Chain A
Amino acid sequence: MQRELMNRAKELLIDETVVRVLGWKKGDLGYNHEPAYFDSPEELEENFVYDAFCGANLSKYMIEAGKQEGKTLVFLKPCDTYSFNQLLKEHRIKRENTYIIGVGCRGNLDIDKIKAAGIKGIESVDADGDMLKVKTVYGEKEMPFEEALLERCLACKGKTHMVYDELIGAGEKEEAGPKGNRFDRVSELESLSPEERFAFWRSELSKCIRCNACRNACPACSCLKCVFDSNQFDSNQKANADTFEEQMFHIIRAFHVAGRCTDCGECSRVCPQGIPLHLLNRKFIKDINTLYGEYQAGEDTDSLAPLTNYTFEDAEPGIVAERGRK
């Protein structure tokens, strides 16, 4: 598929449909591909890559790219299109400045899971079959593709692109898809006592180094200036001062993306400390589904959002106290 994508991108550059291409550039370790702009067919030929290590969601980059002169071609995986749509809905991206190629996806791999399986000194990863074949300085290793999938891919929203100009390689491999109920872990946490739940989050959030990777990678975090970056605020975005600050940052962030978070999984993918941030967001999604009816952010660009719309059927604020009592 990589070849097909590359060829099509070249065509669109040459016939001047687009002036730049936003895709992924081959990394030097076989798994560390980076988001990149390509301005010429030669650059594409040399560096363009598309494989199971293209986890980075390019929608976030479209906020900046969309402001530039001329059209940008962007490659979006099915889950990335939800983020893109949500940004369209919030008027953060100009659709007319974008040409979207929806790309087929069989799931993306988590290098940390590969390393956690004891595979070290990686020289290359061959992810073609059902088994990953990993060449390392300590010899060849193998592990099942499925076991190295990113958390987000275990909760895949399906293989359908929500927005695109054309599709390449989509629907070819149907094997990926939801591997279980994405709310299972949330339900488990809900069933704990408040003390146990608090202990769980304390232990996870105490690892936070306030690096802001979760916020900066998040497509829903699109504020021009985050409140935590303000120097008028008696708090500091980079100080890992105390437990209160750690919690406050994450709780405010989770509230701010509630109803807008598409569950794209970028926050958890990028966190250097492996904090399962997606669980906070999924708790909100689950509650929204229960209280306001099923809703998937980014599914479309025109529906009314549950938290910014009012209906007579809306839950009353008292619901918080009622549910909290349980």
Chain B
Amino acid sequence: MMYKIDQARLGELFAAIAEKKDLFLPVKKADQTDFALWTKEAEVDLDTLRTVKSPKDCFFPQSETLYNTSLEEGKLSIDAAALCDRDFVVFGMRACDVQAVKVLDNVFLADPVDTYYAARREHAVLVAGACHEPEETCFCKVFGIDAAAPAADVATWRVGEALYWKALTKKGEALSEVVKEHLTPAEESAVEEAQTQIRSIIDKLPYSHLKLDVFKETPMMELFDSDRWEEMYKPCLACGTCTFVCPTCQCYDIRDFKTKDGVQRYRCWDSCMYSDFTMMAHGNMRTSQMQRFRQRFMHKLVYYPDNYEGMFSCVGCGRCVSKCPAALNIVKVIKTMGGEG
């Protein structure tokens, strides 16, 4: 069922959601837009196409405590961090970011289930917005994602003065129910023209016609041993920006922080671009930046699809394309390896 709300009244919609659940949405702070908890004062920004960081933090925060240990009078106690037990809504995701959550689900919800992640996913409702003005760095189409019809719990479109709202899942319908007094029924056809428009722009984008067959057809070891990695990695500064802005990068590190009488064990995002990535007692198995660089792209384009029925772990959001300080990115890798479309 299609609904709509006047865009000028979105504040009321947000307030209504926030009354019942935590609401995360794109908020502009010091000139940059990232997902943050909604407050009355927050400067909500639905115009910026992509947030700098992806909404990944809402499900898999950059740093989170797993448990605390403490020693009291010779007795050791271990307190696991509380699991998420409050419903929350992530509003204003993009189709690519929604697909990225599926990429994470495959990893974290498979046995052994990551309970911290699973609790957040269970309590999350995903509300995504269609991309009315896609950018040149976008290549979601390559991964079969439709930016005109995001596959979230609720899809929204901004056409004229209105925001159109359509629940696609049970969770979505339940959310519609919560805010129903703010929504009025609308015609399905109201967004069709906008969708056609979006799809025609997507078709014109420079990266929309990349081909990924080479990663499926070439034997894994042949790709791994390719000479091209050696020439591609050289400008890489090993900073890790690409991994931290990426909605699908899922590697994490576990560390201990010494507290007064014990440790706080926490995890934080790791980056395969870092020299201590997968460091073990015997040392590190990837000893050069070329190997680390190769890991990032082999993981996204070869290993992950090999594990998950051909699904790639890149969703074409283009964040790494616009943020790498050395202008390297997965598109250049795809093209160099033979995926020019």
Contacts and interface: CB of A to CB of B under 8 A. Distances in A.
Interface of A: 27-29, 32-37, 56, 60-61, 111, 120-123, 136-138, 203-204, 206-207, 209-213, 215-217, 229, 231, 234, 236-241, 266, 269-270, 272-275
Interface in B316-331: 321-323, 325-329, 331
Contact of B325 (A111, A122, A137, A217): A217
Contacts of B327: 27, 32-34, 56
B265 to A, nearest CB: 12
B63 A240 contact: yes
Q: Lowest 9 A-B CB distances belong to which pairs?
A: A270-B325, A239-B268, A216-B239, A216-B237, A34-B327, A32-B327, A211-B241, A213-B239, A272-B323
Given A204-B30, A209-B52, A273-B32, 18 more contacts: A28-B206, A29-B136, A56-B326, A120-B49, A120-B136, A121-B135, A121-B136, A207-B29, A207-B34, A209-B53, A213-B239, A213-B240, A213-B323, A216-B237, A217-B325, A238-B244, A238-B274, A266-B325
Contacts of B238: 216
Contacts of A120: 49, 133, 135-136
Contacts of A238: 240, 244, 253, 268-271, 274
Contacts of A212: 239-241
B133 to A, nearest CB: 6
A137 B271 contact: no
A316 to B, nearest CB: 36
A270 B241 CA distance: 10
Contacts of A269: 325
Contacts of B255: 236, 239
A237 B253 CA distance: 11
A270 B204 CA distance: 28
A211 B326 contact: no
B258 A234 contact: yes
> Secondary structure at chain A's binding surface: helix, strand, loop or mixed?
loop
B307 interface: no
B31 interface: yes
Interface in B43-78: 49, 52-53, 62-63
Nearest to A209: B244
Given A29-B206, A34-B328, A234-B257, A211 B279 contact: no
Nearest to A270: B325
A33 B326 CA distance: 8
A34 B234 CA distance: 10
B335 interface: yes
B179 interface: no
Contacts of B201: 121, 137-138
Interface residues of B, number: 52
Nearest to A272: B323
A207 B32 contact: yes
Contact of A211 (B34, B240, B275): B240
A236 B268 contact: yes
A158 B206 CA distance: 37
A35 B52 CA distance: 23
B32 A274 contact: yes
A130 to B, nearest CB: 24
A269 B326 CA distance: 11
A216 B134 CA distance: 31
Contact of A28 (B31, B266, B331): B331
B86 interface: no
A140 to B, nearest CB: 14
A241 to B, nearest CB: 5
Given A28-B206, A34-B235, A238-B268, A209 B325 contact: no
A35 to B, nearest CB: 4
B63 A239 contact: yes
A246 to B, nearest CB: 11
B332 interface: yes
Contacts of A61: 235
A103 to B, nearest CB: 18
Contacts of B331: 28
Nearest to B65: A241
A122 B136 contact: yes
Interface in B259-280: 266, 268-271, 274-276, 279
A223 to B, nearest CB: 12
B159 interface: no
A213 B237 contact: yes
A144 to B, nearest CB: 21
Contacts of A273: 32, 52
Interface string B200-242: 0100111000000000000000000000000000110111110
B245 interface: yes
Nearest to A116: B31
A121 B268 CA distance: 34
Contact of B133 (A56, A138, A216, A272): A138
B30 A207 contact: yes
Most buried by A among B29, B52, B240, B326: B326
A213 B241 CA distance: 6
A120 B137 CA distance: 10
